[in-house]
Amino acid sequence: MANFLDDSEQMWLDTVNRFMDNEITCEYIRKCDMNREYPYEAYEKIAKQGWLGLLFSEEEGGAGGNIFDYTLMAEALGKYGFDFAAAVLVPTFTAMNISKFGTQAQKDKYIKAFIDGKIRFSISISEPDAGSDASNTKTRARQDDNGDWIVSGQKLWCSGAASRNTVIAMLVRTDADNKHGGLSVLLIPNDTPGLVINKLPTLSRHSTGTTEIFLDNVRVPASALLGEVGQGWEIITDHLELERCSVAGAYVGNAQTAVSTAVRYAHERVQFGKQLWDFQVLKHMLADRQTEVDAARLLVYRAARMAADHLPCSREVSMAKLYGSETLKQCALTGMQVLGGYANLPEADMERYLRESIQSTIGGGTSQIQKTIIAKSMRLA
Ligand SMILES: Cc1cc2nc3c(=O)[nH]c(=O)nc-3n(C[C@H](O)[C@H](O)[C@H](O)COP(=O)(O)OP(=O)(O)OC[C@H]3O[C@@H](n4cnc5c(N)ncnc54)[C@H](O)[C@@H]3O)c2cc1C
C-alpha cells in the first residue's frame, strides 16, 4: 500500500509474499486443509528462514523485529487462508510470553529450540465454561509437598496442541477465592503423562487443528510456572494484544486474496456473452469489498505501529481485530457469490476462506467482546 510502508517494510512484505507463492503455495495449504494435516513441511521451511525468531531480541538469538514487522509477516502468511497463518502465529506469539515472563532457565530451555523449529507452543485459555469470560477458568493447579504442580480439569479449543513437540502455555486456577488474581500460567509439554488431547472435527482450522484437553491429576514440575503465581491474568492480557494485532494482519492478507480471486474470476467468466465484470452490480460489490480491505489494512497498520512504539493501544488493536475479521467474512461471502457454483469446490479455495472467516470473528475474542473493549475506551461501559 503506497506511502504507508517505508522501503524496508515493503521489501519485507514482498519477501514473505514471494516465499508464500514460491515455497509454500496455495495448493499445499489446500491439501493440508483437505487432509486435516498439520503443515509440518512448511513450518520447517519457515524455521529455516529464521522467521520464527522475528520478535526475539538479537541477544536471544532472534532477529530483533518489532510488532509492525511481525504483523506484516502475518499479512503475507495469511494470504492463502488463516489456518496456515495460525500454524505459525500461534506458536510465535505464544513463545513471546517466555521472553517477557520466563525465568532464565525457561529461556535457555525453550527459546533456541523454538527458533530452530524443534518445539512449538500453543496457548490454552478457553474452557467449556470459560470462553469470552476467560477469568472463569476452573482447571485447578495445586502444589504438592515437593513443589510439583498437580493439574486437573478440562481445556477447550487449544489450537495446535496435538502437533509434534508442542508445549502448551495453559491458564490455570491457583486460587479459588481470587477471580483474576487467582490465575497462573503453566508450561506443559503435550507428551506429559496423563494429558489427553483430542483434535476436534471443527468447521475451520482443519490443518493446525484445535483440541480439547483433559487433565486428571497431571503432574508437572515447579519449574513449569511462567512468571509468578497469580500473574496469569496479566500474562494473558499482554498475550492477547499481540495475538489480536497479528491475526488481524492475517485476516487482511486473506481478505485481499478473496477479493483479488473474485476480481480475476469476474474477468474470466463469461455469461450472457459478457464477462461477469461487465455487470455493474458485481463490479460495485467488489469495489465495496476492496474499500473495506484497504480500510481494515489501515486500521491494522495503525494498531501495529502503536504497539511497536509501545503506546497504549488496546482500543486500536480491538478495532483492527474487529474490522479485519468482519471484512474477511464479507469478502469471502462476496467471493462465494461471484464464483457461483464453482466456489463450492475446494480447488476454488473460497469455501475454505469462508470457513476460516467464520472462526475469525470468534477466536482471540469475539467481535462482541472487541466492541465491549472499544466501548470501554469511549467511557460508555
Ligand atoms: C477454531 C477455534 C480455535 C480456537 N483456538 C483457541 C486457542 O488456541 N486457545 C484458546 O484458548 N482458545 C481458542 N479458541 C476459543 C475462542 O477464543 C473462544 O471460542 C472465544 O473466546 C469465544 O468463547 P466461546 O466460544 O465460549 O463463546 P461464548 O463466550 O459462549 O460466546 C457466545 C456468544 O455470546 C457472545 N457473548 C459472550 N459474552 C458476551 C458479552 N459480555 N457481551 C456481548 N456478547 C457476548 C459472544 O460474542 C458470542 O457471540 C478457539 C476457538 C475456535 C472455534
Q: What is the pLDDT of residues 76-123, one digit of tens each?
A: 999 999 999 999 999 999 999 999 999 999 999 999 999 999 999 999
Query: Is 152 near ligand 1, meaning CB less than 6 Å away?
Result: no
Query: Is 205 near ligand 1, meaning CB less than 6 Å away?
Result: yes
pLDDT band at residue 372 under the 50/70/90 scheme: very high
Cα 210 to ligand 1 centre (Å)? 13
Instruction: Note the CATH number of domain 7-120.
Output: 1.10.540.10
Instruction: Report the pLDDT value the prediction gives residue 379, as an integer from 0 to 100.
Output: 85
Whether 1 shows a pLDDT value over 70: the answer reads no
Whether 45 shows a pLDDT value over 60: the answer reads yes
Q: Which of 355, 333, 329 is nearest to 251 (CA)?
A: 329
Instruction: Report the pLDDT value the prediction gives residue 2, as an integer from 0 to 100.
Output: 56
Query: Is 372 near ligand 1, meaning CB less than 6 Å away?
Result: yes
Q: What is the pLDDT of residues 129-155, one digit of tens each?
A: 999 999 999 999 999 999 999 999 999
Instruction: Report the pLDDT value the prediction gives residue 381, as an integer from 0 to 100.
Output: 60
The residue whose CB lies within 8 Å of the most ligand 1 atoms, and thus the one to mutate among 123, 125, 132, is: 132
Q: What is the pLDDT of residues 254-275, one digit of tens each?
A: 999 999 999 999 999 999 999 9
3-state secondary structure the chain: CCCCCCHHHHHHHHHHHHHHHHHHCHHHHHHHHHHCCCCHHHHHHHHHHCHHHCCCCCCCCCCCCCHHHHHHHHHHHCCCCHHHHHHHHHHHHHHHHHHHHCCHHHHHHHHHHHHCCCCEEEEECCECCECCCHHHCCCEEEECCCCCEEEEEEEEEEECCCCCCEEEEEEEECCCCCCCCCEEEEEEECCCCCEEEEECCCCCCCCCCEEEEEEEEEEECHHHEECCCCCHHHHHHHHHHHHHHHHHHHHHHHHHHHHHHHHHHHHHCEECCEEHHHCHHHHHHHHHHHHHHHHHHHHHHHHHHHHHCCCCCHHHHHHHHHHHHHHHHHHHHHHHHHHHHHHHCHHHCHHHHHHHHHHHCCCCCCHHHHHHHHHHHCCCC
Instruction: Report the pLDDT value the prediction gives residue 86, as an integer from 0 to 100.
Output: 98
Q: Determine how many CB atoms are found less than 10 A away from the CB of residue 100.
A: 12
- Phi, psi of 122, rounded to the nearest 5 degrees: -125, 160
Cα 222 to ligand 1 centre (Å)? 30
The residue whose CB lies within 8 Å of the most ligand 1 atoms, and thus the one to mutate among 121, 125, 126, is: 126
Domain 234-377 coded CATH 1.20.140.10: yes
Instruction: Report the pLDDT value the prediction gives residue 3, as an integer from 0 to 100.
Output: 64
162 and 197 in contact (C-beta within 8 Å)?
Answer: yes
Instruction: Report the pLDDT value the prediction gives residue 281, as an integer from 0 to 100.
Output: 98
Instruction: Report the pLDDT value the prediction gives residue 346, as an integer from 0 to 100.
Output: 98
Instruction: Report the pLDDT value the prediction gives residue 169, as an integer from 0 to 100.
Output: 98
- Whole-prediction pTM: 0.97
Whether 380 shows a pLDDT value over 80: the answer reads no
Whether 288 shows a pLDDT value over 70: the answer reads yes
Cα 154 to ligand 1 centre (Å)? 16
Query: Is 124 near ligand 1, meaning CB less than 6 Å away?
Result: yes
Q: What is the pLDDT of residues 9-43, one digit of tens each?
A: 999 999 999 999 999 999 999 999 999 999 999 99
Q: What is the pLDDT of residues 157-214, one digit of tens each?
A: 999 999 999 999 999 999 999 999 999 999 999 999 999 999 999 999 999 999 999 9
Instruction: Report the pLDDT value the prediction gives residue 377, as an integer from 0 to 100.
Output: 95
Structural domain boundaries in the chain: 7-120, 122-230, 234-377
Query: Is 132 near ligand 1, meaning CB less than 6 Å away?
Result: yes
Cα 132 to ligand 1 centre (Å)? 5
Query: Is 362 near ligand 1, meaning CB less than 6 Å away?
Result: yes
- The mean pLDDT of 57-67, rounded to a whole number, is 97
| End-to-end Cα distance, the chain | 35
Question: Could you say which architecture CATH assigns to the domain 122-230?
Answer: Beta Barrel (2.40)
Q: What is the pLDDT of residues 210-251, one digit of tens each?
A: 999 999 999 999 999 999 999 999 999 999 999 999 999 999
Q: Return the ∠ at Cα 80 (arms to 36 and 116), rounded to 5°.
A: 70
Query: Is 123 near ligand 1, meaning CB less than 6 Å away?
Result: yes
Fold match between domain 122-230 and domain 234-377: no
Pick the atom of ligand 1 nearest to 134's CA.
21
215: alpha, beta or left, given left = phi > 0 and alpha = psi -120 to 50? beta
The residue whose CB lies within 8 Å of the most ligand 1 atoms, and thus the one to mutate among 82, 157, 242, is: 157
Q: Determine how many CB atoms are found less than 10 A away from the CB of residue 198.
A: 12
Pick the atom of ligand 1 nearest to 124's CA.
11
- Phi, psi of 251, rounded to the nearest 5 degrees: -60, -45
Output the residue whose Cα is nearest ligand 1's atom 35.
Answer: 368
Cα 243 to ligand 1 centre (Å)? 14
Q: Which of 214, 23, 216 is nearest to 127 (CA)?
A: 214
Pairing of strands 120-124, 166-173: parallel
Q: How many CA atoms lie within 13 A of 237 on its CB side?
A: 12
